[in-house]
Every structure is written in C-alpha cells, then in structure tokens.
Structure 1
Amino acid sequence: MIRNYFKIAWRNLKKKKLYAFINIIGLFAGISFALLIVAFIWQEIQVNTNLKHAKSQYILTSKWKDPNMGVDFVTLGPLAENLKQQYPHLIANYYRWDGITSIISNGEKKFREGIQLGDESLLTMYGFNLMHGNNDNAFSAPFSVVITKEKAIKYFGTTDVVGETVTIQNFEGDHQDFKITGVLAETLENTITQITKQADNGFFIAKNSATYFNRANFQDWERSMFLSFIELQPGINARQLEAPLSRLIKNHTSEVVQDNLQIIPIKLTDYYLNRNNASLKQMLFTLSFVGLFIMLMAIINFINIAISHSSSRLKEIGIRKVLGGKRKQLMFQFLIESVVLVSISTLLACFSYPIFSGWFAEIIGKKLIGLSEFPAYFLIVPLGCIILISALVGFYPAFVLSSFKSIDAIKGKLKIGSEGVYLRKFLLGFQYVTALVVLIVALLVTQQLDRFLGKTLGYDKEFVVTAAVPRDWTSEGVHKMMTIRNELSKVPSVESVSLSYEIPNGNNGFQLNVYKAGENPDQSYATQGLVSDENYLSTYQIPLLAGTFLESGDTNPDAVVINETALYAYGFENANDAIGQQLYVVNESNALTIEGVVSDFHFESMQQSIKPQLFFNVNSTLYYRYFSFKLKPGNLNESLAQIQQKWKVLMPNSSFEYHFMDDTLATLYETEFQFKKAAYTASLLALIIALLGIFGLVSLSINKRVKEVGIRKVLGASLSRISFLFLKEFLVILGLSVIIACPLAYALMNNWLSNYAYRISIGLLPFVIGILSIASITVLLIIFQTLKAASTNPIKSLRTE
C-alpha cells in the first residue's frame, strides 16, 4: 500500500513538472540557506570547546573606567604568574603572550610574520599536538621556535623540519638563527593562537628569548599589553578570584591603575562569542532569524502553490471518494507527495553543500566545515528536516484538498472558503514583509558602509599604500630609515612617503593621560599617542588648522601636535590659542609644547568616537613600524613595481609586503561587510521565494475566475482592465505589507546604527527603492500571468463546466 502511495506521488510530480520544479527550487533554496547557517553557527559555538580543560580555563580581561585607557583583551603582564605563585590552590596553570611581527627568512625566502612570544606552558596547558618534535622540551632552550604546518611548508616545502633553522630579525636590525623544535599540527579555531583574524600567528617563541626582541617586560605592573589566560583548579569558580585579583593590583600598581582598572575573568568557552560587545553573538542570532524566516517563506510558498494547483486534482479526488476512498487515505497521499518533494529538496541541498559552502565562506569571511566533520548524531538532522518540513508543508494542503465534496470535485468546482483565502493572503503578506525588511536593511547597511569608506574619514585614503619596515629603535636606526624614506620619495610615481608607528587601522600604539599646564592632574584626559614624521599630514592629506606639524622635532623633542578633540578637551578656545601652550603627561615632569593643531580624522572604526590625539615626532620617540606611500594617479601596478625595485636595493633583508588603505579599512569593517553580503543574499532569496508565492496565488485566483475573465472579455473588457482586476488584489496586500515592513525595518536599523558614534540619518530613499523594486517585479509577474489567461479564447473559458 505504501509503495502505491509513492508510485502515485511520483507519477503526479512527473505529470506536473513545472509545479514540482517550482516547489523543489523554493524548498531547496530555503533548506540550503538554513543548512549553511546551521553549519556556521555550530562551527562558531565550538570555538575553544576542544581545548584541554576548556571548561576551567579563563582569559583575564581589563575593564577600565575610561575605555580609552586600555584594550579590554589584554592586561598586566605579571598578573597571571603571580596568581599562580601566590594562590596555587586556586590556579592550576597560566599562559601569557605578547604579539609581535618581524622579518623571518630561510635563504631567499623572506617574509614579515606574526610571532607569539609567551610562556612555555602553551602546548601542555591546551593540549596542542606536535606533528614533529617533543611537547615536553620544545621551549626549553633559548632561541628555539615552534612553527605551524603551513609555515613549515611555506619555508621548507615539507613538514618534517625539526632541527632546521630560520633567521629572525629583531627590532634593532640584528639577525639570529632560531632552531625549529616542533611543528604544530593543524589546530581547530581558538582564541589562544588566533585572538583575531589579523593575529593568526604561525611562529611560537618562549619568553626565555624575550630579551632578543627587547620585550623583557613580562614583570611590568604598569603596562597592560599581555594576553593572559589561567586554568582554575578543580572545583574553583571565577568568583573566588575577586579578592586575590584586587589584592594583587593594590599591592603592585600605582594609584592611577588601582582607581581605574578592574580585572574580569571570562570563561574561554564564552569569550569568543561575547567579545567586541557580543557582536558575533548578535550576528549569529540575526542569521538564525533570517534563516528561519527564509525557511518559513519556502514553506508558505509550498502551501500556496499546492492549493493553487488543486483544481487539476479535483476529479481525481472526486473519483477516489466515490470509489470508497477515505479522507485519511487522501490526506496520506498528499503528505507522501510532500515527503517526496521535501526529500528531493533536502538531498539536493546536502549534495550542493560543498559548492554553496565556498560561496557562503566568502560572505562570512571564514571557511565552513564539511558535512563529514559534523558529529555522527547530526545524521538525524536531514531526516528530522524531511519529517518536520513535510508535515508543515503537506498537512494544510492535504487537509484542504481532501475536504472537497465528491460531487463538487467530480464537477471540477474549486470552492475554497474565505478563511482559506484570507490565510493565504496573510501568508503572502508575511513573505512581502520579510522581503521588504531584508532589502531595506541591505540598502541602509550599504549607505552606512559608504559613509565609512567615503569622504567623511577626515583623510584621503585614495592611492595610499602602507608597508611594514624593519625596526631599529635607536637614533641611528631612525636616521637610517629617514634616509631610506627620502630615497623612496624620489621614485617617479610616489608623491610622498611618511614614516610612522601607527596607520589609521584602529591599532593604537599607546595611551597617555594628559592635562593642560596649570590644571590638576586629576583633570587629565585619556589620549591616544601617535608617532610619525613631518610628512604624515601630506601623505594622508589631513587638514592642518593652525601652527606646523612636527617640523621642529629635531630642535625641540618635546614639541607635539594635537587634534581638534584634544583641543577642546584640554580647554582651549580655538586652534590658534593652543599654539605654544604646554601640556603634561601624568607622572611625567617634562612639559610638552603644542606646535600645531590638526583636523579630526577617524583613526578607529566609526563605532568609536574620535578620541583626543597627541602626535610625537619619530626623531624624539624612536618608535616606528610603517612606511605610508601616497602614489600618483596612474598605473598602480607599475608604481608598486618601481617601489619594490627600490626597496630591494635599500633594504635587501626585508620583503616589500604592502596593503592598500582600502583593504586595511575593509579589514577594520569586516563584520559590516559580512552583514552587507548576508543581507543582500537574504534579500535575493526572500525575493525569489516571495515571487514564487505570488505565482502560486495568482494561479489560484485565475483558476477560480476563468469564467469571469471569459464573460468580461465577451462584454468588451480590455486586457489592461482585466489585468487590473488581479493587480489591485495584490497591490492591496503589498500596501499593507509596506505599512508593517517600513516601521519594522526602521526600528531594526535604528538599533543597529546606535552602535556607531558616527552614523547615517535614515532617509526615505532606501524605503522607496525597496518598495518600488518589489512592486515593479510583482506587477510584471502578475501582468504576464493575467495577460496569458486573458488572451485565451473566451469560448474555451466559458466551457469550464
């Protein structure tokens, strides 16, 4: 009996190929998108859970009264070690690391790489495995290094490289051979070796080599710059650390730190999802809801199309009932057809996952795991999906179609109660609302991104290229780098070159508490310290409001430049009044003299307000990291080739690895770009599924009014008049949907934009574009179908009974 149900279901689907194709495509789109989202969410919530003793491991985060005083994910260097030493009954282990970059070479291969300089407990504490080498002694000897599998292949072409050496340059320009003592096996994503996408380190060095890099400040209680992780003893919870943490800070730090810093341990399994104001968790929730609504739209679409094509099954239903067929048998037949359709759609979604996962990975900026990497119990997900969706999409059509009276069914009369019509109109309205909301959201996100990357940055990013340089933080090193700068500026395609410690990528070098001369130090302001040469303004084309920009760096090492925000924070009335005035850094005795004031520019993301900034001359501070090149308009590839050629001559031991400021900003706004791509993808899917729903409802309406169309045509009604009869029905639904969708989209985007200190004003244009786009497509689709029905010979239409 079951076999017959499946045979009949398959024959009916083959007979109605277009109907089957539309339903399969709609469900396939919804299931595929939902599957990708499930895979992404599963992948994200697994981060850090596979680490050894992950449930008892924490990261020590810093909460400053003034957020400008420090970064939340780093803390005081000695803190974790002292917790372990003084409270061994609470702390089982600890690990700290400091991130640096340097030139690493092997023969002719020279690249700037990320280095993780930390405690020797890295491998044993987290259970990381080595492909080659010994976990117990990998970090025992100074000048030893553990590298990842990828770096081994990059430098040696193979993974079995234990005993080989790589040469690493320090900040003074010296070179030292480091012996490879281990090759790290591929690790799952975690926040120990991959705190951010940009800090995905490939070289791991123990702190017994820290002095070579001039980073022997693991014991500095006044500098918050280390990532610190701890592992609690069994049975201990984070609350029990409050008193020890407060005691350590009180005993070892200055009053400024004591009054402003609170250490908060966060469980590693929670930290990944909740960092950066829980932006990832919000994104996962958003994607979950989007996936759910897309899935609901696909289900609604199936129901509408199934009912709209019910007229072709009426005589079959009538004959079955006359021959003794029971209603539950008819319902089961229609449910089996749903099972077949859903099964095909689900299998297609699973088979196409490898293809779509690559495309989805571009949207989210991260490779998705393969289906084979899910736990075995995930096999029940497709089966459960088939059963649940089949029940949802099949029950209502089966209930409606099996309820027709035998005599009406045999006569081919399609009588659907007003309740059913209203339900399907409501469902279509739901599809309209979803499609409108996601399209309007996508347009507003685009506007905000355009503001991020447009003319409101405060500097000109066009034709600006940055490259990290070798570091020799001595007077001789700075003098040499300035000479190289001058030589590079002679390249014909280069307009200007600047040497600086920071570029506008959000990574500030240091924070200072600064106050105006004559004021109380308690009235100081947290200020970003920036280090550059005198060419920084001309390279980035930042307006100078008054004075000069670091031109007296050689003659007056205490000369500084401030930005507009600092100008008003320190209490000056205007830029000219500030020139020549003095400032003090808290706990510093020498006075700083203001020689210039520059216009505000966005150093960080527009999520943050522009902070007070203080520029120091690189000649007096001796710290630098980057060259910034302002290129002349023209052939960029040729310009870069000229710079690279000159670079090799001037710095043969350093590689020219450059980044356009456009790419740097894209990294800074990575989450926003992901949101934009996801919104447009959801818009496209929602629009396709909504149009399929319109197709189904128009078909139902036309089937019910075939005779009416024939009569109107006989009485002289024009094709446009007949089309309008159907159009007004759907335009009313669209109009009601607009009334609901627009306030909803406004509320959602107003909430999202509230995270940004600098944001667009929500105008009418995105709403108008969204409404007109969906209305135009709807009108074209309805006109196409109604004109086809209206062009049918009226005699044929009048013979419907």
Structure 2
Amino acid sequence: MLLNYILIAWRNMKKNRFHAILNIAGLAIGIAFTGMIMAHVWNELRVNTELKNADRQYVIKSKWKDKNMGFDLATSGALPKALKEQYPTLVKNFYRWDGLTLTVHGKEKDFKEEVQIGDSTLLDMFGFKVLAGNPTNALSTPNSMIMTEPVAKKYFGTVNAIGQTVEIENMAGQRQPFMLTAVIRVARDNGVTDLINNYSNGIILPESSISYFGRTIDNWKNMFIVGYVELQPGINPSQLNGPISKLLKENIPPNVYANLTPQVINLRDNYLEQNNGLVKRMLFTLSGIGLFILLMAVINFINISVSRAGSRMKEIGMRKVMGGRKHQLVWQFLIESTIIVCIATLLAFGCYLLLGPLFAQLVGKPLPALSEFPVYFVGYPLLFVVLIGLAAGLYPAFVLSALPSLSSLKESLKSVKENILLRKSLVAFQFFTAVVVLIGAFIVTKQVQFFFSKGIGYDKEFVVSAQVPRDWSPAGVAKMEGIRKQLVESPVVKDVTLTYEIMDGNNGGSLSIFPLGADATSAITAFQLCTDMHFAKTFQVPMAAGVFLAREGMTTDVHKMVINTRLAAALGYKDPADAVGKQVKFTELQDTYTIAGVTKDFHFGSMLQSIQPMVFFPIEVFNIFRYFAIKLKGGNVPQAIETLHQQWAALMPGAPFEYKFMDDSLAKMYQTELQLKKTAYTATVLALVIVLLGVIGLVSLTVQKRTREMGIRKVLGASVNSIISLFIKDFMAVMIVASVVACPVAYYLMQYWLNSYEYHVEITALPIMMIILSLGILTSVMIVLQTLRVAVANPVKSLKVE
C-alpha cells in the first residue's frame, strides 16, 4: 500500500510539474540558506571547546572606567604568574603572551609575521596537537620557536622541518636565528593564537627571548599582556576576585588600580562576548535572518499545497465513491507532501556542498564539512521533513477528505472563505518578511557606506601603508626620514609619512594631559599617537588651528605636539585657536610640551565609539615607528604600486613590501558589518525569489480555477486590463496591509541596531516608500506575465474549461 501511495504521489507531481517545481525550489532554497547559517552558528559556538580543559581556562580581561587608559583584552603582565605561585590551590597553570609584528627572514623569502612571545606552558596548558617536535621542551631555550602548520609550510615547505632556522629582526634592526622545535595544529579563533583583532599568531617564541625585542612580560606596570589561568578542578572563578584585587592593589599605581575592574572570563564564552558581544549579536542576527527565510519558504510551500488541494476535490470524491476510506486519503495526502519535502531537503544538502564555499565568503569563515557534524544531527532534517510534511498535508488530509462524496464531486467547499483567509494571511506574512528584509538590507548598506564616506574626517583615497624595518633609535629615525624623502621624489607618490599608527584604531597607548599649572587630578586621558609632520598632509586631515608639528622644511621641536578639537574642548578651550601656544603636562612624562596645532576631529577608530581625545607627538620623542603611509597620485594604480615596489626593494633590501590600502584597513575594522551587509544582500535576493515563486504559484492556481470566469467576463465585454487588474488588486491589498505592519517593525529593529554606533545614518521615509513601491511593481509584473496568456485567449476556449 505504501508503494502505491508513493507511486500516485509521483504521478501527481509529474502531472502538475510546474507547481511541484515551484514548491520544491522555494523550499530547497529556504532549507539550504538556513542550513548554512545554522552550520556557521554551530561552528562559531564550538570555538575554544577543543582546548584541553577549556571549561577551567579563563582569560583575565580589564574593564576600564576611562577606556583610553588600557586594553580590555589584556592585564598586568606579572598577574597570572603571581596567581599560580601564591595561590596554587586555586590556579593550576598560567600562560601569558605579548604580540608583535616582526620581519622574518627565511631562506628564500621574507615576510611580516604576527609573532607571539609567551610562556613555556603553552602546549601543556592548552593541548594543541603537535605535528612535529617534542612538546616538553619546545620553548625551553631563548632561540627556540614554535610554528603553526601553515606558517611552517610557508617557510620550509613541510612540517617536518625540526632543527631548521629563520632569522627574526628586532626593533633595533638586528637579526637573530631562531630554531624550529615544534609544529602545531591550531583551530581558527582558538582564543590563544587568534585572540586579538583577527590576527593569527603563526610563530610563538619563548618568554626568555623577550629582552631581545626590548620588551618585558613579567612586569606589574605592563598592562598590555594577554594573560590566562587554568583553575584547579572544582574552583569557581569568583574565588579569584579577592586574590586578583589584592595583588593589583599592592603592585600597580593607585590611579591605574582606581580605574581598573578585572574580569575573569571563560575562554569558551570570551569569543562570543568580546567587543561588547559583537560576535553574539551577529550570530543572533544571522539566525533571525535564516529562520525568517526558512519560515517564508515553509509558508510558501504550505500555501501552494493548500491552494492546490482545493482543485483536487473531484479526485477525492471519485476515490470515495470507488470505495476509498478516509484514512487512506489522509495517508495519501500526507505522504505526497512529505515526499516533496524530502526531495527539497535532499536538494538543500546538494546546495550546501556546492554553494558552501560561496556562503563562506559571506561570513568570512569556512563552513564545517558534513562529516564534522555529530551523528545525532541526522535527526534534525528527519524531524523537519515529518513536521513540514504534516503541516502542508493536514488541510487536504483531514478537511477535504472528510467532505461528503457528493460535495466533493460537485466541488462544493463550504469552508472556502476560511481557505481564502488562510491563503491571504500566509501571503501577507511573506510580504511582511520581505519588506522587513529589504528595508534592513538598505539601512545596513547605507551605514556601511557611511563608514567609508568622506564623513570619516580625512581622505583615504589612494593611501597605502606598509610596515618598515624597525630600528627604534635616533639613527633609525634619521635613516627612515632619509628614505621617506627619496620615496616622495617618486613620480607616482604624492606624499609620505613615517608613523607608528595608521587609521585602523590601533594606537600606541594613552596618556593623561592637563594644562600647565592646573591640578594633575583634572587630567584628561587621550590617545597617544607618534608620527612626523607629514601625517596630516598625507591623510588630508584638516587643521582647526596652528600647524601639524612644524611647517615644511623646518626642524621638528620635540617639545611641541598637536591635539584634536575634542581634546582642546576637554581642556577648556572653546576656540581651537586659543589652545595654540599653550603649555601642557602629562602625568606619565617629565617634560612640558607646547601645543603647536589643533586638528579637526576625525574617526581614527570604529564608529561604534565616539571620537576620542588625541595627542600627536613627533616620532623623535619616543623614537618608535611602524609604517610608511604613502599617498599615491592616482592614475594607473597597479603600475604605481609596481614602481613603488621597485623603489622599496632598492631603498630597503630584505624588507618585504606588504602593503594594504586604507580601504582594506577599514574593511578589517568593520569586518562584521561587511559580512552582515553581504548576508543581508543574499537574504534580500532569497526573500524576493521565495515571495515571487509564491506569487507565481498562487496566481497560476487562481488562473486555472477562474479560467471559465474570465471567459464569461470577456463575453460580457470585460477588457484585458480589467481582467488583469482583478488579480493585481487581490495581491496588492494584501501587500499594502503587510507593508503597513512591516514598516514600524523594520524601523524599530534597524534603529536598535543603529543605536549601537555612536555615529550612524538616519532612517527616512522616502527610501522605504521606494522599496515598497519597487516590490509592488515587481509583484505586478509577475502577475501580469501569469495572467496575460489567459486574459487574451479566445473566450470560447475558456468557457470549455472545466
């Protein structure tokens, strides 16, 4: 009997292949897209769970009252080790690291690498898989080195390269060989080598080598060290609050302690909670989009199934007259709908395999392979098939099969009004969802465009940045200044600045500034930036008053500095010009400095936060630098880059020319928003496809049912336009009601999202009205294409249709 049901279902789908294809296609699209989103969400929730004892491993973070004072992902360098040594009953192990970007010289090529200098406890604590080498002594000597699998292959072509060396350059331009002692395999975003700003630390050096780089880790005043602790079994992290507070109070400056609230966050939670829960919000947003798309697809499937069932009343009557029983009819309809869902689900799995790489580009991370999912996940698609199959088959199975045989043969349905109401309600929900998605995608796009617009306060066009060899000494600064002058003479270069910072939000720390003669307790915390006098000209940062450090051709005075307008106002100067020439002090520095100029405010970091007070020091004050920021003249940019590359190689042999445009730097800063924009675009396309598939299917069914009616109308003198308008009015009324409901919902959701940014676009009515009008026009076109053929047909043929 079951085989007979399946055979009849297959024949029915072949007979009505158009509607079957629409049903299967719409449902498969929804299942595939939602499945990929859920796979991505599941993959993100797994981050850090592969670490050994991840449930007992915590990162010590810092919450600052004044956010300019410190780095939220870091803590005091000496703290984790002190906790292990002084509270061994609470802390089982610890690990700390300091991150640097260094030039690594291989046998054939040189690269800039993100390097992690950390404790020898790394492998024992986190349990990374060792592919080659001895994990027990991998970081036991100052010249030892661990590489991740991709980096080892980049330099040596294989992971079996234990004992081979590379030369790593320090801040003084010196080179020292480091020997590979272990190669490890790490998961992405693992919270140890990939913790900060999506930088992947592919090389790990021992803490004993830290002095070679002019840094310190085991230092209470160094608040820029990432620190982890592994608790003893059964210990609650809240038990660390007292010891941490005691150690910090005893060892760090009082003003730092007063501004600091330590936080002990489990590594499994930290990935989702970092950056004010940005990852978690993104996952919630993606999940909501996916579920709405799936719900639209399911409603589309149910709607067409229910509408299609109404045309099978005569078939139901014939089956009952021929002896068919109600339970047999019930099984027939339920099996038919379940088969369609099964086919759609199988197609969705195919889409997952074929389109997975494209979706990975949307979210910026690869999707897990089907083999990575636990076995019990098989139950989810099976449960989905059963539930949706039942939902779509319930109406024809129980309502239509219960009708008397005579009513079925006459195609008389007493509950036709309820059927129409159900159909219109489902269509309205589809339009509602489509309008919300369309408005959301538009606003996300406008906000992302705002990030890259001229409203950022400087000119990013044709600006490239590249890291330079670091010799942090007066001689090193003088050498780089000489190279800068030679680069400026290039026919493709407009200007060059030697700087420690570029416009990516990563600054060299913060300082507390106050007017000379004022009380130091009133000091304002400001971002510290180190650059030369060409910074403002290269980035086209406008001056509100004075000059940027010094005029062209003049010697830089190391006791002059520049502030931004926000800091000038915070210091009490209503007019920026009033600040020029005034002297100031810093609580952290001994000398007195004079304000040479005031820049207009610009967005140095993300628009999630307000523009911060900033102070610009000449490079010669601290003798630190990282980049050449180069403004090209435009024109043939690829040719200009090639010319610049040749000059770079001639002026700095052995220094890799790894450049990035400012657009790329901004894209990294707004990576999550750009991913959301791409996903919103995809969701918009899918929402439109599903809505239009539903419109096409329902109009087609309606046309079939009303073919004779249209023939009669034409015989009575109705025009083609009047007939087509009947169908358009039917759908337009539903769409208008749905849009009226959708607009305030979309406004509330998007305003809530925009409010997370200190600077954002305004939501206006005109674009929203244009979106709804465009959707209405597109829907009307689909309706016209479906009804035109019957509307212009010979009414005699229409009257013969049963």
Q: What TM-score range do you get, normalising by the shorter chain?
A: over 0.9
**1:589-600 alignment runs, 5 A limit:** 589-600=590-601
- Quick one: distance in 2 between partners of 1:377 and 1:636? 53
Equivalent in the alignment of 2:360: 361
Amino acid at match of 2:335: I
- Quick one: distance in 2 between partners of 1:320 and 1:480? 94
TM-aligned CA distance change 1:681 to 1:399, over 3 Å = farther
Secondary structure of the structure 2 residue equivalent to 1:37:
helix
**1:413-452 alignment runs, 5 A limit:** 413=412, 416-452=415-451
Alpha-carbon shift at residue 555 of structure 1 (Å): 5.4
Deviations 1:338-372 (A, max 9, x none): 11111111111112212211111111011111111
Deviations 1:686-738 (A, max 9, x none): 11111122223323433443333222211111111111122112111111111
- Quick one: distance in 2 between partners of 1:305 and 1:157? 57
Equivalent in the alignment of 2:214: 214
TM-aligned CA distance change 1:587 to 1:630, over 3 Å = closer
For the 8 Å contact 2:513–2:584, the answer to whether it is kept is yes
**1:137-148 alignment runs, 5 A limit:** 137-148=137-148
Amino acid at match of 2:126: Y
- Quick one: distance in 2 between partners of 1:347 and 1:737? 32
Secondary structure of the structure 2 residue equivalent to 1:224:
coil
- Quick one: distance in 2 between partners of 1:674 and 1:364? 5
Alpha-carbon shift at residue 146 of structure 1 (Å): 0.6
TM-aligned CA distance change 1:471 to 1:21, over 3 Å = same
For the 8 Å contact 1:311–1:703, the answer to whether it is kept is no
- Quick one: distance in 1 between partners of 2:204 and 2:448? 36
Equivalent in the alignment of 1:345: 344
Seq. identity, %: 47
Deviations 1:368-406 (A, max 9, x none): 111111122222222222222222222234334324432
Structure 1, 561-570 or 693-702: larger mean CA deviation: 693-702
Structure 1, 93-102 or 317-326: larger mean CA deviation: 317-326
Deviations 1:252-281 (A, max 9, x none): 111111211010101111111111111111
- Quick one: distance in 2 between partners of 1:282 and 1:5? 46
Amino acid at match of 1:49: T
Amino acid at match of 1:224: M
Deviations 1:727-764 (A, max 9, x none): 11211111111111111111011000001111111112
For the 8 Å contact 2:19–2:697, the answer to whether it is kept is no
Equivalent in the alignment of 1:26: 26
Equivalent in the alignment of 1:489: 488
Equivalent in the alignment of 1:733: 734
Alpha-carbon shift at residue 129 of structure 1 (Å): 1.8
Alpha-carbon shift at residue 312 of structure 1 (Å): 4.6
Segments of 5+ residues of structure 2 without an aligned counterpart are none
Amino acid at match of 2:440: V
Q: Give the TM-score normalised by structure 1.
A: 0.98
Secondary structure of the structure 2 residue equivalent to 1:69:
coil
Q: Give the TM-score normalised by structure 2.
A: 0.98
Equivalent in the alignment of 1:697: 698
For the 8 Å contact 1:303–1:397, the answer to whether it is kept is no
Amino acid at match of 1:451: F
Alpha-carbon shift at residue 680 of structure 1 (Å): 1.2
- Quick one: distance in 1 between partners of 2:787 and 2:228? 67
Equivalent in the alignment of 2:463: 464
Deviations 1:519-546 (A, max 9, x none): 2212111100111011111110111122
Q: Does 1:259 align with 2:258?
A: yes
For the 8 Å contact 2:97–2:118, the answer to whether it is kept is yes
Amino acid at match of 2:794: N
CA RMSD of aligned residues (A): 1.5
For the 8 Å contact 2:115–2:201, the answer to whether it is kept is yes
- Quick one: distance in 2 between partners of 1:501 and 1:657? 16
Equivalent in the alignment of 2:162: 162
Alpha-carbon shift at residue 795 of structure 1 (Å): 2.6
Equivalent in the alignment of 1:573: 574
Amino acid at match of 2:47: V
- Quick one: distance in 2 between partners of 1:349 and 1:243? 53
Equivalent in the alignment of 1:617: 618
Secondary structure of the structure 2 residue equivalent to 1:225:
coil
Alpha-carbon shift at residue 186 of structure 1 (Å): 4.4
Q: Does 1:314 align with 2:284?
A: no
- Quick one: distance in 2 between partners of 1:728 and 1:18? 24
Secondary structure of the structure 1 residue equivalent to 2:454:
coil
- Quick one: distance in 2 between partners of 1:195 and 1:98? 12
TM-aligned CA distance change 1:219 to 1:561, over 3 Å = same
Secondary structure of the structure 2 residue equivalent to 1:732:
helix
Q: Does 1:93 align with 2:93?
A: yes
Alpha-carbon shift at residue 331 of structure 1 (Å): 1.7
Secondary structure of the structure 1 residue equivalent to 2:312:
helix
For the 8 Å contact 1:554–1:619, the answer to whether it is kept is no
Equivalent in the alignment of 1:723: 724
Amino acid at match of 1:569: A
Q: Does 1:373 align with 2:372?
A: yes
Alpha-carbon shift at residue 414 of structure 1 (Å): 6.0
For the 8 Å contact 2:306–2:392, the answer to whether it is kept is no
Secondary structure of the structure 2 residue equivalent to 1:290:
helix
Alpha-carbon shift at residue 793 of structure 1 (Å): 2.6
- Quick one: distance in 2 between partners of 1:114 and 1:746? 42
Structure 1, 2-11 or 698-707: larger mean CA deviation: 698-707
Alpha-carbon shift at residue 14 of structure 1 (Å): 1.6
**1:516-665 alignment runs, 5 A limit:** 516-551=515-550, 554=555, 556-665=557-666
- Quick one: distance in 2 between partners of 1:286 and 1:392? 27
Alpha-carbon shift at residue 196 of structure 1 (Å): 3.7
Equivalent in the alignment of 2:61: 61
Structure 1, 671-680 or 548-557: larger mean CA deviation: 548-557
Secondary structure of the structure 2 residue equivalent to 1:610:
coil
Amino acid at match of 1:751: Y
**1:679-690 alignment runs, 5 A limit:** 679-690=680-691
Equivalent in the alignment of 1:229: 228
Equivalent in the alignment of 2:51: 51
Amino acid at match of 1:565: R
For the 8 Å contact 1:414–1:704, the answer to whether it is kept is no
**1:241-252 alignment runs, 5 A limit:** 241-252=240-251
Q: Does 1:795 align with 2:791?
A: no
- Quick one: distance in 2 between partners of 1:393 and 1:55? 44
For the 8 Å contact 1:74–1:228, the answer to whether it is kept is yes
Query: How many aligned positions are there?
Result: 800
- Quick one: distance in 2 between partners of 1:652 and 1:325? 88
Secondary structure of the structure 1 residue equivalent to 2:621:
helix
Amino acid at match of 2:776: A
Secondary structure of the structure 2 residue equivalent to 1:560:
strand
Amino acid at match of 2:174: D
Alpha-carbon shift at residue 310 of structure 1 (Å): 3.0
Secondary structure of the structure 2 residue equivalent to 1:407:
helix
Amino acid at match of 2:66: D
